[in-house]
Structure 1
Amino acid sequence: MKHTTYYAGVLLAALSVGCAKTPTTSVKEPVVVTDAAQLQAAAPKYAATVTAADLSKHLHILASDEYEGRDTGQKGQKMAAEYISKEFREDGLTGPVQNSSNPYYQPVELETSKWGTGYITIGKQRFSMLQDFFVLGASPYLTEQTPEIVFAGYGIDNGTYSDYTSLDVKGKMVVVLGGEPKTADGKYLISGTDKASDWGNDFRTKRNAATKRGAKSVVIVTGANADEFKTMTQRYSSYATRPAIGLKNSATQENATVILASPAVGAALLNTTPQKMFAYAATVAKAGKPTPGTFTAAKDIKIKTERIATPLPSENVLGFIEGSDKKDEVVVVSAHYDHVGVDSTLQGDQIYNGANDDGSGTVAVLELAEAFAQAKKDGFGPRRSVLFLTVTGEEKGLLGSEYYSNNPVFPLANTVADVNIDMIGRMDFDYEKTNDSNYIYVIGSDKLSSELHAINEEANKKYVNLKLDYKYNDENDPNRFYYRSDHYNFAKHNIPIIFYFNGVHADYHKPSDSVDKILFDSAEKVARLAFYTTWELANRDNRIVVDSHKQ
């Protein structure tokens, strides 16, 4: 019996060794939850990972002097891109950019450019660029060309008033008067009141009308005389003499080029005098409706607006979390990570750290990305895919987001919404008066989707309890913030957006926009609201509808 016991022990030991080498159990992958109710119940757990402490940790790095103000295309911006991509990678997000040396980078083709030789000659008359006229944006006249001129009144084209009736302007230079027409009693024809419309206040409205009609350029006669023209274009004169940063000029022209011209230039193009040109206004006022011009445009016209360009490579930084059962649909969470760099002409502090603008939004995106990534590891990943998009060149004209919208990594048709965060964790001038940081301006949530607006309202009421201030959502607000951050490049493609913004303060675009002035508890609340809104967009059963078309 003793020997039997011995050999049985040896056999058991051998079997135990075999089992150790080949475990009978393995670590199971978490069950992927796709039930909307279960996912909603899990949201607070992951929202709680978005903390003031982590926001502070990231922002103390990105808005430090070492990053030199993160100016587009410069050393500090490159350092920030590297930091963001590293965080995405370490949190488990994938880089979705194909054919890129770094799959987290979407190369953005920017260039620095300045004006060279520029003129308009009309017969023996010669008018100089940056003195008699200004070109806004890209120009198709980089080499000398002979344009065909068409007069189109005030350049208005809407349902009730059109200066383009019976006009063929395709490929031509359209000359229009600035402002908008009035009736004989002094009221504006478009509004029927004493209040001007966008046709008189925003040159882009006339540009868009000319573009829709196929014009190559639109010359807007600016001011009633030479002195008024000089006054009205003073800011363009200042900008135009400096090198500018923009998207690389392509062979295709998206919009009609805008040229702001003095009355002398406008009249010469129409082969008339400024007095006779402006007399057209009285003709329209008397008629009370669009009136064809009687000018015979000049023929011997040449224009050249040379642009000297130098490449300025930059990059958007993307982190991606693939969804489960609705993975082909994508929710975008965005912020711009660039700022305005360094000004060596300043006394004292020369670095524009951009802690609030928009370091605060950038670190919020990093925190949301980490939260969603952890949720996916636990089996509570989003049903729809989520793209965390930090863009370059916002301060230069929303360039990074424009580049993405023109060259999307994921089809815009599959893009459900954009949640944009630009400047959180501060109080603006109004709220500083009462020392109230428990608010956020919400812009654009109802412009394209009533459901997006309702989702944000419900999330705030259920979880966060911030004051949602819609002051800047008013289409008549003169600040026009709806058009001034990266979400707009999604909205213009009919993609619903929501924009979180704390408003403007005394440190806006100054070296004093520093980390020590950020209220991280406030930033945490806004970031969590953005999280809950994104979570619902990504996990609800139905994609939000596009049912509103507000300005």
Structure 2
Amino acid sequence: MKHLHTYGFVLAALLASGCASTNNSAKSPETNAEKLRAAATTYGQTITAADLSKHLNIIASDEYEGRNTGEKGQKMAAAYIAKEFKEDGLTGPVTAGSNPYYQTFDLEKSQWGEGHILIGDKKFLMMQDFFVLGSSPYQTEQTTDVVFAGYGIDDEKYSDYANVDVTGKMVVVLAGEPKGSNGNYLISGTTKASDWGNDYRSKRNAATKRGAKSVLIVTGTSADEFNSLTQRYKSYASRPSLGLKSEGKQENAAVMFVSPVAGAALLNTTPEKLLAYSSNVAKAGKPVASAFTAPKNVKVVTSRITTPVPTENVLGFIEGSDKKDEVVVVTAHYDHVGIEQDAPGDDKIFNGANDDGSGTVAVIELAEAFAQAKKEGKGPRRSILFMTVTAEEKGLLGSEYYSENPIFPLANTVANVNIDMIGRMDFDHEKQNDSNYIYVIGSDKLSSELHSINEEANQKYVNLKLDYKFNDENDPNRFYYRSDHYNFAKNGIPIIFYFNGVHADYHKASDSVDKILFDSAEKVARLAFYTTWELANRDNRIVVDSNKK
């Protein structure tokens, strides 16, 4: 990759003068919806492949080091985006802090420290004999009461919690779910397992509801099988993670996966006798009492070391005219995954040109187009917040923070238009060399009008193939839940998500600018613009009349 345009932190100095104001010579705003519709193409056509390329060749260059959350490259990208917003005449709407374009907050970087379970003189080690998935209340060594609860199931058809008091205790349960003597699962009555066997969170939730402090899931039939089955989870759990700052509350029972040897020791038995419990259940066809008596001298510690990681969402605001209290929010995430030293090959910088540099530069271009329209008296009637969010790659954290700490009330937020990964072809379309498409996700989930607005805008101005494949509630990829729009949707705000799909360079160092099809990105960005234009300028706020998954 080439090094392009060294900007560094010098950009931050350009922001020192505070909020920019929109052009004082702006004409009186037009508020007639039909006249504004007639003016839309004038500004939509200012969004060009050339301008998208200009911006992307900067923020997705090696100089920006992959824009990893909290690191130098992310800060450089934030400064660049804020500079563009200010130069285009957008205001910074954040009143707290020194930079009105930044919504700053601390994430929490955490990783496991000391961890063991001590049973008499036997010590079982974290990341060897057990590991924690999620958070844990055992920051310091504590004595704990242990109780066995079968498979940890609490269902109307089958409950392991009848007559078992687990309040404040460590609950040991078996992985999976019970079968009857005929080989069918007792919950479903068929050969198909239920969520009790497929999703550990079902057992966590049941333990939480019953008041348990932690639930330990005995996994595999031997130490080797435990390690084999849990290798991926264990690898994930051993890495440092970023999250929103913890309030110190443990909302759910802690989840630990334990080997059969450790699980049996916690119940003062052998792995063979513990695993034989399943045969007893199969014969009875229902939960059975166990003879396990847990030792009284169990101590546990799973300490978590945390450090703050400052980061920022970047916000640019255009105030509306006659409907200024209502706000349309346009988003993309500007972070990526940074530098991966153990990545194969010589290139270690994950530039994230498509994910989501492409969406970020589209937001910059939309902001410029609307700012120009405002200067010339052509709306918007509703206010528009252009927001590039941080830490999407860490779990949608930037948009989650905004949704919990909104600059403008969520009740006044009309819709969210989200752009993530445009200007590429996914596997299916690449086979046909067809770049004239866009996946549309979520537009009908909460508002039938938003769906219609997008379809009409596409037919009138752009003529992309609108593909709703990933909008299906049964889609296994679950993309509706995997980008920043979801933090608006879960608060009842209609959303539309533009996405070109996953390709061979996804989350690899090869996701570079030279792979972007800028003519395709231009069409998608224009569609997002025209949909936003209608949302901002129509007479009535769109209705919320759906409740689809």
Which range, TM-score by smaller chain? 0.7 to 0.9
Matched, 1:102 2:99: yes
Match of 2:69 in 1: 72
Q: Secondary structure at the match of 1:433?
A: helix
Counterpart residue identity of residue 421, structure 1: I
Give TM-score scaled by structure 2 length: 0.84
Deviation at 1:503, TM superposition (A): 1.6
Q: Secondary structure at the match of 2:533?
A: helix
Q: Secondary structure at the match of 2:379?
A: coil
Farther off after superposition, 360-369 or 35-44 = 35-44
Deviation at 1:519, TM superposition (A): 0.4
Counterpart among 142, 147, 154 of residue 145 in structure 1 = 142
Q: Secondary structure at the match of 2:401?
A: helix
Counterpart residue identity of residue 129, structure 1: M
Match of 2:333 in 1: 336
Counterpart among 108, 111, 116 of residue 111 in structure 1 = 108
Counterpart residue identity of residue 446, structure 1: D
Counterpart residue identity of residue 249, structure 1: S
Query: In 2 relative to 1, CA 229–58 (structure 1 residues): closer, same or farther, beyond 3 Å?
Result: same
Match of 1:376 in 2: 374
Counterpart residue identity of residue 101, structure 1: S
Counterpart among 45, 49, 52 of residue 48 in structure 1 = 45
Query: In 2 relative to 1, CA 434–245 (structure 1 residues): closer, same or farther, beyond 3 Å?
Result: same
Deviation at 1:151, TM superposition (A): 5.2
Matched, 1:410 2:408: yes
Counterpart among 304, 320, 323 of residue 320 in structure 2 = 323
Deviation at 1:358, TM superposition (A): 0.8
Deviation at 1:336, TM superposition (A): 1.2
Q: 1:124-523 to 2 correspondence within 5 Å?
A: 124-149=121-146, 154-155=151-152, 172-182=169-179, 185-188=182-185, 194-208=191-205, 210=207, 215-270=212-267, 272-275=269-272, 277-278=274-275, 281=278, 299-345=296-342, 347-523=345-521
Farther off after superposition, 436-445 or 238-247 = 238-247
Deviation at 1:92, TM superposition (A): 1.7
Counterpart residue identity of residue 67, structure 1: Y
Q: Deviation per CA, 1:513-538, whole angstroms, max 9, x where unpaired? A: 11111001111111122222323333
Separation of aligned partners in 2, 1:250 and 1:144: 21
Farther off after superposition, 512-521 or 288-297 = 288-297
Deviation at 1:321, TM superposition (A): 2.2
- Asked whether the equivalents of residues 169 and 214 of structure 1 are also in contact (C-alpha less than 8 Å), the reply is yes
Deviation at 1:83, TM superposition (A): 0.2
Query: In 2 relative to 1, CA 374–170 (structure 1 residues): closer, same or farther, beyond 3 Å?
Result: farther
Query: In 2 relative to 1, CA 125–354 (structure 1 residues): closer, same or farther, beyond 3 Å?
Result: same
Q: Deviation per CA, 1:41-82, whole angstroms, max 9, x where unpaired? A: 333332222221111111011111111111221111111000
Matched, 1:85 2:71: no
Deviation at 1:155, TM superposition (A): 4.8
Counterpart residue identity of residue 30, structure 2: V
Counterpart residue identity of residue 237, structure 1: K
Counterpart residue identity of residue 503, structure 1: G
Separation of aligned partners in 2, 1:182 and 1:494: 41
Separation of aligned partners in 1, 2:102 and 2:255: 33
Q: Secondary structure at the match of 1:395?
A: coil
Match of 1:59 in 2: 56
Deviation at 1:337, TM superposition (A): 0.8
- Asked whether the equivalents of residues 108 and 400 of structure 1 are also in contact (C-alpha less than 8 Å), the reply is no
- Asked whether the equivalents of residues 383 and 539 of structure 1 are also in contact (C-alpha less than 8 Å), the reply is yes
Q: Secondary structure at the match of 2:338?
A: coil
Query: In 2 relative to 1, CA 527–29 (structure 1 residues): closer, same or farther, beyond 3 Å?
Result: closer
Separation of aligned partners in 2, 1:389 and 1:488: 15
Q: Which runs of 5+ in 1 are unaligned?
A: 1-26
Farther off after superposition, 495-504 or 140-149 = 140-149
Query: In 2 relative to 1, CA 275–64 (structure 1 residues): closer, same or farther, beyond 3 Å?
Result: same
Separation of aligned partners in 2, 1:353 and 1:394: 15
Q: Secondary structure at the match of 1:303?
A: strand
- Asked whether the equivalents of residues 138 and 249 of structure 1 are also in contact (C-alpha less than 8 Å), the reply is no
Counterpart residue identity of residue 80, structure 1: A
Match of 2:9 in 1: none
- Asked whether the equivalents of residues 108 and 242 of structure 2 are also in contact (C-alpha less than 8 Å), the reply is yes
Deviation at 1:312, TM superposition (A): 2.1
- Asked whether the equivalents of residues 25 and 375 of structure 2 are also in contact (C-alpha less than 8 Å), the reply is no
Q: Secondary structure at the match of 1:385?
A: strand
Separation of aligned partners in 2, 1:166 and 1:84: 60
Counterpart residue identity of residue 119, structure 2: I
Query: In 2 relative to 1, CA 409–434 (structure 1 residues): closer, same or farther, beyond 3 Å?
Result: same
Q: Deviation per CA, 1:468-487, whole angstroms, max 9, x where unpaired? A: 22333334433333332222
- Asked whether the equivalents of residues 152 and 173 of structure 2 are also in contact (C-alpha less than 8 Å), the reply is yes
Deviation at 1:102, TM superposition (A): 0.8
Q: Deviation per CA, 1:330-384, whole angstroms, max 9, x where unpaired? A: 3322211111222345542222111111100111111112222222223333333
- Asked whether the equivalents of residues 187 and 194 of structure 1 are also in contact (C-alpha less than 8 Å), the reply is yes
Q: Which runs of 5+ in 2 are unaligned?
A: 1-23
Q: Deviation per CA, 1:99-131, whole angstroms, max 9, x where unpaired? A: 211111111312333221101223443221111
Separation of aligned partners in 1, 2:163 and 2:547: 29
- Asked whether the equivalents of residues 373 and 381 of structure 1 are also in contact (C-alpha less than 8 Å), the reply is no
Separation of aligned partners in 2, 1:267 and 1:103: 57
Q: 1:18-29 to 2 correspondence within 5 Å?
A: none
Separation of aligned partners in 1, 2:28 and 2:113: 63
Computing the radius of gyration from Cα coordinates, the structure with the larger value is 1
Separation of aligned partners in 2, 1:165 and 1:383: 60
Deviation at 1:289, TM superposition (A): 7.2
- Asked whether the equivalents of residues 178 and 186 of structure 2 are also in contact (C-alpha less than 8 Å), the reply is yes
Counterpart residue identity of residue 450, structure 2: L
Separation of aligned partners in 2, 1:256 and 1:547: 36
- Residue correspondences, number: 525
Separation of aligned partners in 1, 2:202 and 2:458: 36
Query: In 2 relative to 1, CA 463–273 (structure 1 residues): closer, same or farther, beyond 3 Å?
Result: farther
Deviation at 1:425, TM superposition (A): 0.5
